[in-house]
Structure formats: C-alpha cells, structure tokens
Structure 1
Amino acid sequence: MSLKTFGAKIFASVIHSKTQKWATNPVETQQKVFRELLEKAKGTQFGKDHGFNGIQSYDDFAAKVPVRDYEALRPYVDRVVKGEEDILWPGKPLYFAKTSGTTSGAKYIPLTKESMPFHIQAARNAILSYIHETGKADFVDGKMIFLQGSPELTEKNGVKLGRLSGIVAHYVPAYLQKNRMPSWETNTINDWETKVDAIVAETVNEDMAVISGIPSWVQMYFEKLQQRQGKPVGDIFKNFNLFIYGGVNYEPYRAKFENLIGRRVDSIELFPASEGFFAYQDSQTEKGMLLLLNSGIFYEFIKADEFFTENPRRYTIGQVELGVNYVLIISTNAGLWAYNIGDTVAFTSLAPYRVVVTGRIKHYISAFGEHVIGKEVESALNEAMQGTNITVNEFTVAPQITPATGLPYHEWFIEFGEEPENLETFALFLDNAMRKQNVYYDDLIAGNVLRTIVITKVTKNGFQDYMKSIGKLGGQNKLPRLSNDRKIADFFS
C-alpha cells in the first residue's frame, strides 16, 4: 500500500465521522444552517425587503419569502450582475456561473466565497465516502480524468464568469494535480470533438483509474478510444474501476458503457448544479444519494402534484415522506432565497436522508445536459415558421441517443397542416432558432456532440391516435411538447 493510499483511507475515515455527526442530526443541522443564513443576509437589500430582522421561525420565513424561480428573482440578480453590492448576499460574488436560461437566454448564478468551498468539498467527499465504504483506494495512485468545460473565464463588471465545471477546475487540490488529466491546454479547447481527440491522444497510454463526466460526453471519449486501439476501454486501462457522473440519468447509457468498457465498473452519482452541490452517492448498496444538509443550503420541498396549486404547502427536513415526488426549493449562502431550481426529487431513505432525482417539474430534454424546456421549443418553431405558409397541427420532441449512424440528435415529430417545400432546409432554420433559445444546446451543436435537428413527419391525426392509445384522448389531457425518453417517439417508429 502506497503512502498516498494509506493517507486517503485515514482521511476518508475522518470525513466519514464528520458526515455522521450532521447526517444523524438532520433537523438540528438544517435549523443551524437556516439561522446562519438569515443572520448573514439580514443587512442585504433582499433581507431588508423581506424583513429578515423580524423572522423568528421557519413559519415566519415561509410567510415573508415566496418561492421564486430565476425569472422572479431576476430583478435582484440583475443588480448583482451590474456590480452592486449587498443585494442578495453580503458584498459581491466571486463568480457568476453561466447556465441555460428559460425565457431570457443565459442565467447568471452567483457563487460566493462562502458557497464555493462546498462545491469542492462535496466532490471530494463523494470519493472519500466510496473509499471508506469499499476499502478501495488504490485508484488514488493512478491517473484521473475529469471531462469538463473550458476553465477559461471572462469577466462581467468585476466578477469572473464561466461554466461551473470550468470554474471548479481552478480548485483542483495540489495533491491531485499530478494525477489529473487532461492538461490545461487541452481543457481549454472549445470544439468538443477536437477536444476529445486531444484527450484520447493524451490519455491512451496512461494508467487511467478514475473517469468522470456527463455520460454522453464520456461515451464519445470511450468510442474514440476503442476506435483507435481496437479493443475495449477496460483493456486499454487495466486499472480503470471507478466512473463518476452527474447531470443526466446514467441508466440509458449503462448497457452501452459496459459494452464499451468490456466489464462492469463501480460508479458514483453526483447531484451538482450551479446553484449548489446537493447530494452524492454515499453507498454502493443503498439506493439514492446523501442529501447534503450541512453545506450552506437550507432545503424546502413542495409536492410535485401540488406545486401549481395556489399556496402549496412547503415542507422541511423532518416532514418529508418516502417515495413522494417533491420539487426542490433552496436557500443558499450564495444568496438564492426560496429558489426553485426546477428539479424534482424523491426520498429513498430518511435515516440518513437520501434522494433520487426524478426529473424536472416541467417537461424537458436533458439527455446531454442541455435542459431544453417547452417554451424554448415552442419559440424556436414559431421563429422558423415566420414569413412562411407552414402550419403545424401538433408536435413533440425527443432525444435520439443511439442512432444507427452518425451523431445523436434531437428528433422532432411534427404533424404539419401545410408542409415546408424543403424539409431539410426547414430543419436547419429550426435548429438555428433552437441554438438561439438555449446556450447549452448551442454548445453541443458547436462542439459536434449533437448533429442538427431531424424532423420526422407524423401522418394526419397521428397524435390523436397516440393519445387514444394511452387512454388520454380529449378532456384536459395534453401531449407533452418534449420528453427525455423515447416512449412517445417509439409509437411513431
């Protein structure tokens, strides 16, 4: 056993003990976070506007601070982006994490000196938790690769700006620098296909032990490795035994991954977002991810089936139930207050509190991390039809993750009233409109991760036939504008 491996096991034991202290006292832990957040922010503009000085209990908070999404919080965020201080959180943020927006393009999520360390610690602790549970730590002597966005940052009114994964790249601890790949130069390549080619060239002869990234991106890396070497990834990297992922559901990729690797490897699921690092998989045998209750985030939960009713009840830790689909609401030490991030979760355990991500409160596509929402596809279609005689009776969109040939793509199933003269030309117009709607989608097209939109024509009344087949024809039933699987798509295949 190397000194580094021995040290990792000792460190893992220490972190496990610290984790147990708060995990076994969840309600008290969250109350402490709640009080600290309010105390810290009572002098901010948001704190003054919402009477933080007069809040004595959680019920006071729920009465004074309504649940908001980004658009509702935007008047405050815009002031922060313009350079004003003490608006949502004391001072100015360290960074803005640029993410995909809803109705207004890009979002700018603040990261503060208080919140940033928790993003780093959570990723580290996920690995240490794995070491403590399994006793496996030899991988710390091998190479580790983190497929992520460019670490190059820009600046906006004195605050550094970039993608979260690129920001995090600046915080890789010194003891991992020698093991970490790819090189900084390769990491700054913007075109994804070019970047993956460079990563393959850098890593193919290395002892890769840990590989981390969004499954769709890692899949491209694995395929290029296999094409180059003519053998499974597991034979190229004999000591590769741990895959760390987040951002999208791994299950649709699992069978493909095991075929590419040639064997099964352990995996750790993470639940990070620009707004906070919420959970990580702490057990290889128990379902779900440990909800991080001691990370500067106060959690609330609203039952998904009640979310769109008037004044739905807000629950805190200690009040939630197993198996219920909840919308996740957060207040954070980056200045987000009763903030709806759009994700839904369900608890798989209450001792400790573990969750699985069940989806988004609204229909979406995020098979590749793009987080495309209904309004974006509707706006793109409307733009593409402007100035034409084209009419659309109904449509839905689904990802095609494993096409027979070529890159993956978004497939649009459209029942036209009046068809375009050239379907491929119309598809390109539609694709360009989508790229303007969603910055992540634009990145995926520009980086050659996805090919442009493919349109499949649906025959007249085809969608009616589908709704009838599932017993939802008529009434208040609506066809989802988009879905993250191919259940609807398969009906038309």
Structure 2
Amino acid sequence: MLTIGTKFLVVSQVFTAVTLYQVINMYLNWKDTSSWQAAFRGLVVFFTGAGGLVTYDIYRKRPAKSHTWRTVLLQYTLTQIFRIIVYFSLRNFETASKNISKMQEDALMFYIRTLENTEFGKKHNYSQMRTREDFLKLHPVLSYTDLKPYIDKTIAGKKNQITPFDPFYIAFTSGTTGKNKAFVYAKEMFAKPSKMLKALLFRTLRFKRAGLWDDLKRYHEVRIGVKTNITDSGIRTGPIAGMYTFFPSYLVSPRVVYDVTTENEAHYLHALFALKDPGIGTFNFSFPSVATRFCQTLEHQWPQLCDDIEHGALNTDLDIPEDIRERLQTDMRADPQRAAEVRRIIRQGFDGIVRRLWPECNAALMLSSGSLLPEAEGLKQHYLKDVPFCNPVHAATEGVFGFCDPDDNSQTRFIMTTSLNHFDFIPLEETDKPSPRVVPIEEVQIGQCYELVITTAVAVRYRQGDVVKIVDFYNQVPVYEFQYRLGQMLNLFWEKMTEGAFVHALRGAAKRNDVDVVEYTATENVNFEAIAEPLQNGRHYVLFMELSENSDKEQRRLTSQQKQMFEDVLYEEHEVYKMLRDNGSILPMKVIQVKTGAFNALKNAVVENGPCGHLVLCWRMEDKAEHAFTAPSTKVSSSRFVQQQHHYHLHQRQQFRY
C-alpha cells in the first residue's frame, strides 16, 4: 500500500503532467485559440501548476504514515499560514524594537483608551491620561486587592466594571502565590488585528523551534481536560487552559481524549494513542511535570498498553465515561506488529525511551527555565535523552510576557512581548516596601533582577509576582531569564528562602542519600492549623516528599538519619537559615515521607474540585519510620489536605535522577 507521502507524489506528478499538456496544447494551437479560451487555459495552468508545487512540497516534507489526506492538508495549511504570520510579524517587531518607548506607548494607550469609560477607568482617571508619561506619573502600581472588587462585580453580572465588553471567560489562576485569583477575558480586547497577529506570533514561534515547518510529522498535545463552570450571570469560568478549545484533527490523540479530566486516565489514553503511532515528530507537554507523568505512565503500565494495541480494545478497567469509551473504541484497530515492536523497545530499558519509541521526534515543548530547570534536566538525562527541548513562551493567566528567542539554543532566555503588553519593573530589593520604586523599561540594567509589573488585556499596572533577570537586549527590548515567583518562597522570619535555593539543597541531599525525589512540597508549619498531629512548638519548615519505586514497585523508606540529611544540607548551603537555626529562631525542618501515589491523588482531587487554593498533603505520621507506610489506604480524599491561603509558600513538583 502506498504511504500518504507517496500518494502526494503521485498527485504532484499528475498535476505536473496536466500542466505540461496544457502548456504544449496552448503553444501548438495558439493561433486558433480565442481570448476566453486562452484565459481559461491560463487559469488551468496556474492552478494545476500550483497544485503540483504544493503536493510536491508536502511529499518533500515527509508526512507521517499515519496521516490522512485531511489531517496532512490541515497541518500543512496551518503551518504555512503561521509561517507567513511569523515572517511579517517578526519583521515588524524587528523594526519596532529599535524604538522601545514608541512600542510601549502604542501597546499601553490601546488598553487605556479602551478602558477609560469603565468604572475601573473612571476610578483611575484614564480620561486624563493622554500619553505614557501621564500614565507613569498618575497611575499607581496595583495588587490583586485593587482589581478584585471590579472583577467580583463583573462575575456577579454587572456591566462596564473592568471591561466595556461582555466577558466570555473568567480565568482562575492556580493559586501559586496564595488564594486563586480571577481575571476577566473579553473577545474584543483581542479584536484589533495587530493585537491578534502579535499574540499569534508569540504562540506560533514554537512551530518554528519544533521544526514543524520543515516536516509533517504528527503533533502530540499531552494535556489533561479541564472542568469549566458557568456563573449565575452566565459567564464560563475555569483555568486558563479551559479557554482554548481548538484541537485540530492532526493531533495524535482523538478530540474526545481532551474531555477526560482525571489525570491517570488522561495520561493513559495519551500514552496509548502515542504508542500506536511511531511517526510523532513533536510532543507538547507544556510543563516538565506533565512529561514526567506521561513517561511514568509508559514505564508502569506498558504491558496493559501493549495489550490494548495488540487487540484493538480499550482497557476495561479504565475509569472513563461510557460515551467517551464508545467514541474512543471507534479509533482502535488491532495492531499486533506495533505492539510487538513496543514491547521489544521497552524491554531494553527506559533511558532515552522517547527517542527510541519515536525515532523521528525532533522536539519536546515545555517550559524548562528557572525553578522548572532541575526536573527538565532530569528528563533530559533519562526519559527524553537526545530529544531537543523547546521553551516556547513565558506566560501566565494574566498574559504572555515573553517568547523564546528562535536563535537561542540555551532555551532559557525570553524576549519581552513589548508590542503586546506594557511593562514596568520593581527592583528586587524594593519588593517588600509598601511603596516600591518603579523602573521604566528604558532604565532596566543587565544583571539586575526585577519583579514584573504588567499591563495586559486583563490587568493594568499589576504586580504580577514573577522575578526576572535581565541578561541582554534585542535591539532595545529586554531579554530576560525567569527566576522564580515571589510567592514561591519560605519565609518564617526574614530569611527569604527562595525556590531556587531550596531546590538546590533538596537535590544535594537526595544525591547524598542516593534517592530519587519524585514529588515534593514544602511550607512553614505556621500554616497547619488543622494538621492531623501536633507539630513541634516553634517555627520550622515542613517538607513532604515521595520517592521513586524500586524494581519491586516499592518505595524506599527513609531512615531518621536520611531525613536529617535534608535539614543538614539546607543548613550548610543557606547562610541566613544557618544563622537563624543557630540562634534558635527556627527549629529543624521536619521531613515527612508520603506513600506512593499520594501526590497523584492530590492532583486528582484538585482537578475534581475545580479551582481552589494550593493544597498541602497531610498524612498522619508517627515518629517511627515504619508508620509512614501503615496508613489504612492509599486512597486520599480532599479532607486529608490542608488549604493554604494568603501566605508565602513553596509548592513545586520535581524529579531528580543521578
């Protein structure tokens, strides 16, 4: 049977033959051809010639064998459109970036003029702000507390509060820096063509980095379905991911998989359809934690996955709605040959498993800078060995702040989206002050760290909380590296234990103990008002961790001495923490090892319950090490968690392999 690429080659040859026939026929019968016949034949030559070029270009890009006519044409068309958008947008960005003040003025005044007649705009006298200088002089730096009353009224159904338009979505943050925040999205804020094109530019550059313009391999979007709700006023609400519902047919997983909202089942299905297709060229994981979970699903459930592929039937134990199961079953075909191939590859081990299962994979898309770097490095050393990483954008619920320089091989530097948003900066040493000094974009300096103050489609002069380090300039546009979130910090007194410092100590202790930390979360004990057992008197950190399983699928039990190692390394590496420990201000950190699967249960509970504040897993623990493994059940309900709100804390999942 001909492959899809060969079929396009045949079509290209047919188009070419028709074109040549028409050209020769026109030449031989030119004198007997009327003007309208010549025009018609000219159109035929044009379209058949263009068809021949397009179909040959598709053949040249080596489309995956699993493509259909429809999916390959859709992927080819979209990538060519994106290519044109990026070409012209980057050229315009190149020109505009040579005058950063003008660029920022244009971005800012679009939002100010749009919002000036809203209640929020009237409160801040937007009608008096005619220039960027007026804005910098008159507009205060805001926190979420300043935005919340207007957002709450909008959610309740009141009009013209923080947007003059009817909102179509209320996006909730993950609660990284405390309680969840909500932001109002209106379609009209993106209706201006230049805004839409600029937004597309920053999001589609990932296709260039991933090499999707150079071939037509399959694209696998590994994503968990999200639950959205409807407010009493009829507005759809949920995480920012719930706002994007475009799932083109050329994706590896069927559309219905993205409606599965439980993590175990979603990852199983994504792994199943990925294993069925050896022609995947790009994985979009978004975050290292998603990549880790996907690969762990392969490692732990590959026998059942291979059975499903061999027999063309879904695992009957998979807990998914019956209507979804029926729709997925229509996409299943028995493939004993692929099942045997997968078994053979997996039995050779899991080092570099992604490249070995999918030899043509040329990119893994995920954020891999700042605090996410350690887990990304672990993936590079194990599951994703030899797979290039692409770090496409720096974004949050509030907007897209930076796009990765297409020419930066380090994949840690971002160019600010200054044509889309307005930026101010608070020097790091000023972030704790009640009235911090604000630095305009023209005055930022290389080597300095700043907190971002953003003006986007959903927030104006808002302290976003991300700390960035300026490392270069693209013409006049700052180039930066993401450092950490201000809220991702442990701070019992004034030690300000940053996420980066804590992660470094955690990695060092794990290496000394020769263990793999699969998941962890840490906080201050003052947040445990409802903890299951009394903690020590006094202030200290609490570290919850889950270790990887051994070959017998059992988690290694840490001794009290090994747990103490995590405290010792932190004590050695952090001078201020050491001083506060020595003078008795801070007590030793308590390390609690949880059962295998506890963090997955936590994540599932968060998904099931919808947007909420960050949760910290709280198992009942005894002083004896063996009691850490004697809880009556590994099933965790949301009542086992303690909700944290309005405090600095560190919450991040990492995997380390040495």
Q: State the TM-score, normalized to the length of structure 1.
A: 0.74
- For residues 522 and 378 of structure 2, the distance between their equivalents in structure 1, rounded to whole angstroms, comes to 27
Cα separation, 1, equivalents of 2:385 and 2:259: 30
Counterpart for residue 464 of structure 1: none
SS in structure 2 of the partner of residue 204 of structure 1: helix
Q: Deviations over 1:175-202 (max 9, x none)?
A: xx13224323211212101110011111
Change (3 A) 1:263 1:9: same
Q: Where does the alignment leave 5 or more consecutive residues of structure 1 unmatched? A: 416-422, 459-479, 487-493
Post-superposition Cα deviations, 1:227-264, rounded to whole Å, max 9, x if no partner, equal: 52415111111111111113874421234322213413
Answer yes or no: is 1:146 the counterpart of 2:221: yes
Whether 1:211 and 2:283 are equivalent positions in the alignment is yes
Q: Does 1:443 align with 2:518?
A: no
Query: In structure 2, what is the Cα distance between the partners aligned to 1:260 and 1:362?
Result: 31
> Which residue among 318, 329, 352 is the counterpart of 2:442?
318
Aligned counterparts of 1:250 and 1:457: Cα–Cα separation in 2: 32
Name 1:26's counterpart in structure 2.
Answer: 100
Aligned partner of 1:342 among 437, 450, 465: 465
Q: Are 1:395 and 2:395 matched, yes or no?
A: no
Question: Aligned partners of 1:75 and 1:164: how far apart in 2?
Answer: 20
CA contact (8 A) 1:114 1:333 kept: no
**Pair 1:222 & 2:295 matched:** yes
When residues 196 and 131 of structure 1 are mapped into structure 2, their CA distance, relative to the original with a 3 A threshold, is closer
Residues in 2 aligned to 1:135 and 1:263: alpha-carbon distance in whole angstroms: 15
CA distance in 2 between counterparts of 1:119 and 1:198 reads 36
- Matched positions, count: 434
Alignment of 1:6-405 (within 5 A): 9-101=83-175, 105-115=179-189, 125-126=201-202, 128-129=204-205, 137-139=213-215, 141-150=216-225, 152-156=227-231, 157-168=233-244, 170-172=245-247, 177-206=248-277, 207-212=279-284, 213-226=286-299, 228=302, 229=342, 230=346, 232-246=353-367, 249-258=371-380, 259-283=382-406, 284-285=408-409, 288-295=413-420, 297-334=421-458, 336-351=459-474, 352-364=477-489, 380-384=527-531, 390-398=535-543, 400=545, 403=548
Q: What is the identity, as a one-letter code, of the residue corresponding to 1:224?
A: T
Distance in 2, matches of 1:267 and 1:308, equals: 34
What CA distance in whole angstroms lies between the structure 2 residues aligned with 1:57 and 1:383? 52
SS at match of 1:186: helix
Q: Which amino acid aligns with 1:291?
A: M
Task: Name structure 2 gaps, 5 residues minimum.
Answer: 1-56, 60-75, 303-341, 491-498, 504-516, 557-562, 568-580, 582-590, 624-647
3-state SS, counterpart of residue 88 of structure 1: coil
Higher share in helix: 2
CA contact (8 A) 1:234 1:263 kept: yes
Give the 3 Å change call, closer, same or farther, for CA 115–323 of structure 1 in structure 2.
farther
Deviates more, 1:195-204 or 1:311-320: 311-320
Provide the C-alpha distance between the structure 2 equivalents of 1:481 and 1:131, rounded to a whole number of angstroms.
35
Residues 263-282 of structure 1: CA deviation (Å, up to 9, x unaligned): 13142242111100111212
CA contact (8 A) 2:89 2:197 kept: no
Are the counterparts in 2 of residues 345 and 359 from structure 1 also a CA contact under 8 Å? yes
Deviations 1:423-458 (A, max 9, x none): 99x989xx99x97xxxx79527989xx994579999
Distance in 2, matches of 1:47 and 1:371, equals 43
Q: For the structure 1 residues 13 and 143, does the alpha-carbon distance in structure 2 shift closer, same or farther, using more than 3 Å as the test?
A: same
Helix, strand or coil at the partner of 1:279: strand
Contact kept? 1:247, 1:271, Cα under 8 Å: no
Percent of aligned positions with the same letter in both sequences?
16
Deviations 1:351-387 (A, max 9, x none): 242221111223349899x99896xx657411226xx
Higher strand share: 1
Aligned partners of 1:346 and 1:355 also within 8 Å: yes
Query: Would you say the 8 A contact 2:176–2:487 is kept in 1?
Result: no
For 1:394-473, what aligned pairs fall within 5 Å after superposition? Answer: 394-398=539-543, 400=545, 403=548, 442-443=605-606, 452-453=617-618
Cα distance in 1 for partners of 2:373, 2:137 equals 40
Deviations 1:294-318 (A, max 9, x none): 22x2111111111222422212221
Q: Which residue of 2 aligns with 1:474?
A: none
C-alpha distance after superposition, 1:453-489 (max 9, x if no partner): 579999xxxxxxxxxxxxxxxxxxxxx9647699xxx
> Which stretch has the larger CA shift, 14-23 or 89-98?
14-23
Rg larger for: 2
C-alpha distance 338-103 of structure 1, shift in aligned 2 (>3 A): same
* Pair 1:346–1:485, CA change in 2 (3 A): farther
1:217 positional shift: 1.0
Q: Cα gap change, 1:92/1:246 in structure 2, threshold over 3 Å: closer, same or farther?
A: farther
